[in-house]
Amino acid sequence: MTNDADKPKPPDMLQRHFAALWSTIRQDEAGPRPPDEQRLLLDQIRNAFDRAANRLSDTTNAYIAGTFTVEGSIYRSETTEILQLRHRDLGTLHALKTLPFMQAANAPLIERLRREAAIGLGFRHSTIVETTVLLRLDDGRPALLQDWQGRSLLDLYKHADMIELDIGALLFRLLEALAVIHEQGYVHCDVAPGNIFIPAGDPKSAMLGDFGISLRKGECHSDLGLAFAGSPDFLPPEHGPEKPVDTSHDIYALGRLTAYLLDRQKEQARHDLQLFSAACAQNDPFQRPRSAEDARALLMHLNEQERS
């Protein structure tokens, strides 16, 4: 005779719910889910628990990763939020790029930010804004941490704070950044004033940042689910969401950027810079310099002619 105490007890309510959740993660009505889909579901569930735990907390966490205090939000759109942080011990400034709280469960945006982190972590060069680490915030949102490089070229012009800028020095600096990016097989896809930073107003320290829409050469933005990507005034005529990107797209953007700078600093509208802008921003991609190295050689040649 079997003692009731020896009989297996049915799982309690929590165990049953957990078993049902795990079953849902593992498979749907059509059968087993692919491993990538299972991992994505697990990640979203973990984010949901993180947000719930944060709401249950009796105190507000004043620090990010126990290390950084938030100085303020410096940019916010429907898909992106950028915060200025200060290191609690060192006092240094940093930038943190994440998703708006309302997009915390948006799986495509999460994957896009992680992809941007993977690209950014692969670059270590003085001309490129480096990604330090990919963090997970207390509410589950992913976030990129970078050193603070000050305001962008766009912000400096917008607020009339732009000091006299050596356009030639800035162009050489950006061409060096593009050479590094292209050498690793990527196209930046958004060489525009909002992604160029001028620490302390020195063009010889200029840096190119933001790899949010960068692609490997030959990829299309539609692969990321994007119907439109880039800054309209800096996109080449052959650009399209379903068309493969090429390094010549960045060269075109640099030509348009040169025209943008010359228009704002007319006293520097030298003939060599005008010729460089026209050569890089040719509508026919085969008429442009074929690489950052070719564009650099052209700029040096035009500079020498201007001085002679």
How far, in Å, CA of 154 to CA of 196, rounded? 8
> Which pLDDT score, from 0 to 100, does residue 91 have?
92
How far, in Å, CA of 141 to CA of 143, rounded? 6
User: How do beta strands 81-87 and 68-76 pair?
Assistant: antiparallel
How far, in Å, CA of 96 to CA of 143, rounded? 6
CA-based nearest residue to 166, from 128, 188, 209, 198: 198
Q: Which residues of the chain have pLDDT under 50?
A: 1, 8, 53-54, 56-61
The string of pLDDT tens digits covering residues 215-271 is 999 999 998 888 888 999 999 999 999 999 999 999 999 999 999 999 888 766 789
Alpha-carbon distances of 43 from 37, 47, 137, 253, rounded to whole Å: 10, 6, 13, 37
- What is the pTM (predicted TM-score) of this model? 0.79
The string of pLDDT tens digits covering residues 70-98 is 999 988 999 999 999 999 889 999 999 99
